[in-house]
Structure 1
């Protein structure tokens, strides 16, 4: 099971009372990033059935759930949504990570239901992630990812409290920054994923 973010769970428990436990479980099993989960919760106005309806709509097209918040005080569909979401939920936004992967690693991620990063090979004692999509794409093109050639850029969100133990560092060239997460911490990293790992785009070296 993945998780929803700690700050969104606090909002659910504040807004939904006795229904909160069921909704938290529902959100934990949802594949969506915090932004979409939050749109489902905030747009429901304390009505648990409206959260369920929003998540069913997200299964068809998650962008429609965001559009339902447009022109509201917590508009999550248009630029600047990050600041509005921070105001609605408070500090502790999940950390967004990007990673270029080859076909073998992507296959293992898919086998997990997009819920886990697979164990590291012996010659790769750390999971390397970067802070920007374009950097992951560039690393994939350069063959600096785990499998040179055709690959994919992936994205995930990780609970802020877990990521706070690691420092941002240089991971490729002078300007590419990200995290080097030790293989021994991988199970804990997977337990702190918010939503699921997403395949974003193909990359050809």
Structure 2
């Protein structure tokens, strides 16, 4: 199953530090990890929420990754506000097991600054 995750710069750096293979543990105020099922939904969050924070945190990214069908089946798709807003709800304490189901690597695929799309390469070193 292909999933997307809108993220900010700090979380993306932690993903990079994992070798692009795992999502970092949730913070105390984040009981659920929620990857989404469409690029459009991830883009909306990255663009309209993540990228409008005060500088230097005014960057939002969309990442894409694949998860095994067996792991995906453990987390039924949830609809949050409208059919186009579908996501998986992974309890924070199950994130390590969820990460084990990632097939391949987590890939940054789009970037936004202050609500505008920017070339990914201009805000993220793809070799790093």
Q: TM-score, normalised by structure 2?
A: 0.79
SS in 2 for 1:130: coil
**Cα RMSD over matched residues?**
1.7
Tell me the equivalent position of 1:203: 112
**Contact kept? 1:101, 1:146, Cα under 8 Å:** no
Q: Which has the larger radius of gyration?
A: 1
Q: Structure 2 unaligned runs (5+)? A: 116-128
Shift, 1:158, TM fit:
0.5
Relative distance call for 1:183 and 1:147 in structure 2 (3 A) is farther
Shift, 1:101, TM fit:
0.4
Shift, 1:167, TM fit:
1.1
2:88 to 179, 184, 195: 179
2:75 to 166, 185, 188: 166
Relative distance call for 1:113 and 1:184 in structure 2 (3 A) is same
Aligned residue pairs total 109
More strand by share: 2
SS in 1 for 2:66: strand
Shift, 1:203, TM fit:
1.9
Tell me the equivalent position of 1:152: 61
Q: TM-score, normalised by structure 1?
A: 0.50
Separation of aligned partners in 1, 2:30 and 2:102: 21
Runs of 4+ in 1 over 2 A off after TM superposition: 145-149
More helix by share: 1
**Contact kept? 2:51, 2:59, Cα under 8 Å:** no
Separation of aligned partners in 1, 2:26 and 2:52: 13
Tell me the equivalent position of 1:5: none
